[in-house]
């Protein structure tokens, strides 16, 4: 099989495209023979990771032509880093992990930098014979061998720190194999063999540090199995038995890919999707020439660019940050989209890649050089629908246009008890022209009990999200606590989502949220408007709070409020119930873990078993006047526009003539 570097070079150098007629990927039941796998790798010679001999020759030609600019940027970044020394060892201490303050458990994530720096440095050393580049790689590749621990406690030698170091050193070992001195090559082989063995034993359950070994949706699992497989490919022929490691990692990715939904979404949200995709893409690309599975045939990989596109704010560089994470990508997503664009021959994925941040770190520049395919022409997304529902993972999104000054609306349904998720089923976010009018705090400062939710911090509480709070309680933490997008459609310029979150609330008989985005038209402002309806019924009388978390300064006037950002503002009015109390509160709860939190609470007038909230949100650009908002003959009125809600909440709202 041709090396994957062919997929990023011009013209005939691309691998066979993953076209629309390809068969759906299904995991094989055939057990992979470790000896055969190892023989395939050895037969490829050196280099063998991500490209082989012919592809390397083409790459050398490409950096003089189609990839010259990307090569020059990578080389300049490496030149700038030549004086940077690898970090000295930092021993773990009791309490280094704030979520386990009485233990010596320490992820030692500072060691991840070896996986992000070494590939770019090694690629430059491979393509430029100047000895200064080899010497720089040598310093960084050998340094981790001095560290007594790669992660401490439950993370020792078998989690993220170890995975990233194995990955980076493996690429340096393989790409520069013939340039290492005998002594250095032997030392690197020893490091990879010793540390790789620990990772393999974790995956097999021989040691007790592979908590991730069957956690197929966990980014820790993706990262660890990736590192194990890449290390096996690097060592094949030099260390006996590593075919077992490759077979194990390929088996792990059979399960990982089998659980990925065809729709392309990831339940932990965009920032952690990016981290997981990093490990997934690097393994399936590195292993492709050697393993019988073609993981690229998974429908998930055809569609995952849509998840990133629809979960973006008005500009692609931003994203809806449901769960832990910032409103941006953590990782090098542009090169990943390049790889998928090349594989699928998809111009929209190429367009997305070009509209993601063009970062200057070594990791982004390395994989951008290897995975960019100039033969794929970017295709504008204008003909894509303005909304999309990812019903399996539980996300919905809509926007007023594909321009960077659009309004975006994002809904989070799905499971509450997901790693890095919050207790925020039916949460929604609103961004107007790049400003989050209604926000999510994302990660707060973590502490004891944060990840297992034994302690509920403000940032992952229900009140810290744009959710309904019943009885002043958080949503349920159980495995069956979830929401479900039951309906998603567009009709007559109205995008409508309906999400049932009954299972997320203790004592609830029914909790349903509807969001209707009325797209801009003559008679509305630049961004149209949003109507929300929450209908809830409980077994006993409860308080009901409709919570909003503003992205700007808030002014309240009776049942009307305004959220003012720098260039946009949000005017809101409570249509139902009457007699609500609207007030701005500081962070709610005992464990405030974000800076200067503010909550806008809309409280129903009294305890009851049933409630219906109807709230209109009118986003306004600079200079736009607030429309008149009210209720007339059962229809919500915004200016001259009228929107009739379904009496039972089971059908989409409809626009009426003014």
Whole-number Cα distances in Å, 68 to 71, 76, 303, 314: 5, 12, 30, 31
Residue 658 binned pLDDT confidence (cut-offs 50, 70, 90)? low
Q: Tokens in use for 138?
A: 């040598």
Whole-number Cα distances in Å, 526 to 516, 518, 551: 16, 11, 19
CA dihedral 440, 441, 447, 449 (to 10 degrees): -10
Q: Is 56 left (phi over 0), alpha (psi -120 to 50) or beta?
A: alpha
Task: Provide φ and ψ at 208, rounded to 5°.
Answer: -100, 20
Per-residue pLDDT of 234-246, as tens digits, reads: 999 999 999 999 9
Count Cβ neighbours within 10 Å for each residue of 309-324 and write b for 16 or more, e otherwise. Answer: bbbbbbbbbbbbbbbb
**Interval 262-276 mean pLDDT:** 96
Whole-number Cα distances in Å, 533 to 250, 468, 577: 47, 11, 11
Q: Residue 16: is its pLDDT beyond 50?
A: no
Per-residue pLDDT of 570-608, as tens digits, reads: 999 999 999 999 999 999 998 999 999 999 999 999 999
Q: Residue 11: is its pLDDT beyond 60?
A: no
Q: Residue 30: is its pLDDT beyond 70?
A: no
Q: Tokens in use for 406?
A: 């659009």
- Report the 10 Å Cβ neighbour count for 164: 26
Rounded CA-CA distance 432/619 in Å is 7
**Interval 290-305 mean pLDDT:** 96
Rounded CA-CA distance 351/597 in Å is 36
Residue 23 binned pLDDT confidence (cut-offs 50, 70, 90)? very low
**Interval 355-364 mean pLDDT:** 96
Q: Residue 325: is its pLDDT beyond 50?
A: yes
Per-residue pLDDT of 413-426, as tens digits, reads: 999 989 999 999 99
Q: Tokens in use for 390?
A: 């990812």
Q: Which of 15, 12, 11 is nearest to 3 (CA)?
A: 15
Q: Are 68 and 59 in contact (CB under 8 A)?
A: no
Q: Is 271 left (phi over 0), alpha (psi -120 to 50) or beta?
A: alpha
- Burial of residue 69 (CB within 10 Å: 0-12, 13-18, 19+) is exposed
- The residue with tokens 């809600």 is 645
- Domains of the chain from N-terminus onward: 4-299 (1.50.10.100), 387-656 (2.70.98.70)
Per-residue pLDDT of 82-134, as tens digits, reads: 999 999 999 998 877 787 887 889 999 999 999 999 999 999 999 999 999 99
Q: Which of 393, 390, 428 is nearest to 407 (CA)?
A: 428
Q: Are strands 494-500 and 407-412 parallel, antiparallel or unpaired?
A: unpaired
Residues found in the chain: 658
Average pLDDT, the chain: 94
Of 52-56, 259-263, 441-445, the range with the highest mean pLDDT is: 259-263
Rounded CA-CA distance 552/569 in Å is 8
Q: Residue 7: is its pLDDT beyond 70?
A: no
Identify the pLDDT of residue 2.
31
Per-residue pLDDT of 446-492, as tens digits, reads: 999 998 888 999 999 999 999 999 999 999 999 999 999 999 999 99
């Amino acid at each position: 099989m041709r090396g994957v570097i062919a997929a990023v070079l011009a013209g005939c150098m691309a691998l066979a495209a993953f076209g629309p007629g390809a068969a759906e990927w299904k995991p094989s039941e055939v057990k992979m023979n470790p000896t055969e796998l190892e023989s395939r790798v050895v037969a490829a010679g050196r280099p063998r990771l991500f490209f082989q001999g012919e592809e390397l020759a083409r790459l050398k030609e490409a950096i003089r032509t189609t990839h010259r600019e990307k090569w020059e940027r990578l080389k300049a970044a490496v030149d700038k880093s030549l004086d940077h020394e690898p970090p000295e060892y930092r021993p773990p201490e009791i309490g280094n992990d704030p979520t386990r303050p009485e233990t010596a458990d320490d992820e030692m994530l500072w060691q991840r930098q070896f996986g992000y720096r070494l590939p770019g440095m090694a690629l430059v050393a491979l393509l430029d014979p100047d000895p200064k580049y080899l010497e720089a790689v040598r310093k960084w590749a050998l340094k981790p061998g001095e560290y007594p621990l790669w992660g401490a406690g439950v993370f020792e030698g078998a989690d993220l720190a170890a995975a990233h170091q194995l990955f980076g050193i493996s690429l340096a070992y393989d790409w520069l194999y013939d340039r290492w001195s005998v002594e250095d090559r032997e030392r690197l082989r020893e490091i990879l063999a010793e540390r790789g063995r620990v990772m393999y034993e974790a995956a097999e359950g021989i040691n007790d540090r592979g908590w991730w070994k069957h956690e197929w949706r966990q980014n820790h699992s993706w990262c660890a199995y990736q590192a194990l497989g890449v290390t096996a490919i690097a060592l094949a022929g030099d260390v006996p038995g590593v075919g077992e490691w490759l077979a194990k990692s390929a088996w792990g990715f059979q399960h990982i890919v089998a659980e990925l939904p065809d729709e392309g979404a990831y339940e932990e949200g965009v920032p952690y999707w990016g981290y997981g995709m990093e490990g997934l893409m690097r393994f399936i690309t590195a292993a492709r020439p050697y393993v019988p599975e073609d993981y690229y045939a998974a429908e998930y990989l055809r569609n995952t660019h849509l998840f990133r596109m629809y979960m973006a704010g008005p500009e692609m560089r931003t994203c809806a940050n449901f769960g832990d994470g910032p409103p941006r990508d953590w990782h090098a997503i542009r090169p990943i989209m390049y790889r998928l664009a090349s594989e699928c021959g998809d111009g929209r994925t190429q367009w997305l890649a070009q509209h993601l941040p063009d970062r200057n770190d070594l990791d982004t520049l390395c994989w951008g050089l290897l995975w960019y395919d100039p033969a794929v022409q970017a295709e504008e997304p204008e003909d894509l629908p303005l909304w999309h529902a990812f019903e399996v993972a539980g996300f919905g999104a809509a926007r007023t246009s594909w321009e960077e000054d659009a309004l975006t609306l994002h809904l989070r349904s799905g499971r509450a008890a997901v790693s890095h998720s919050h207790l925020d089923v039916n949460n929604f976010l609103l961004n107007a022209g790049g400003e989050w009018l209604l926000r999510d705090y994302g990660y707060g400062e973590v502490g004891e009990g944060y990840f297992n939710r034994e302690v509920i911090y403000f940032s992952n509480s229900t009140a810290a999200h744009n959710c309904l709070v019943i009885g002043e309680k958080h949503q349920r933490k159980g495995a069956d606590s979830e929401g479900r997008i039951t309906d998603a459609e567009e009709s007559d310029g109205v995008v409508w989502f309906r999400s049932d979150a009954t299972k997320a609330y203790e004592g609830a008989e029914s909790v349903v949220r509807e969001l209707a985005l009325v797209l801009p038209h003559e008679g509305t402002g630049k961004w149209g408007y949003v109507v929300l309806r929450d209908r809830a019924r409980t077994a006993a009388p409860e308080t009901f709070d409709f919570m909003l978390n503003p992205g700007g300064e808030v002014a309240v006037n009776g049942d009307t409020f305004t959220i003012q950002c720098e260039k946009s503002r949000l005017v809101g009015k409570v249509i139902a119930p009457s007699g609500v109390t609207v007030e701005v509160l500081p962070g709610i709860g005992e464990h405030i873990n974000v800076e200067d939190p503010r909550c806008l609470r809309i409280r129903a007038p009294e305890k009851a078993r049933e409630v219906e909230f109807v709230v209109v949100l009118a986003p306004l650009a600079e200079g736009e006047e607030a429309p008149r908002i009210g209720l007339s003959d059962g229809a919500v009125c915004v200016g001259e526009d009228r929107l009739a809600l379904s009496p039972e909440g089971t059908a989409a709202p409809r626009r009426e003539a003014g």
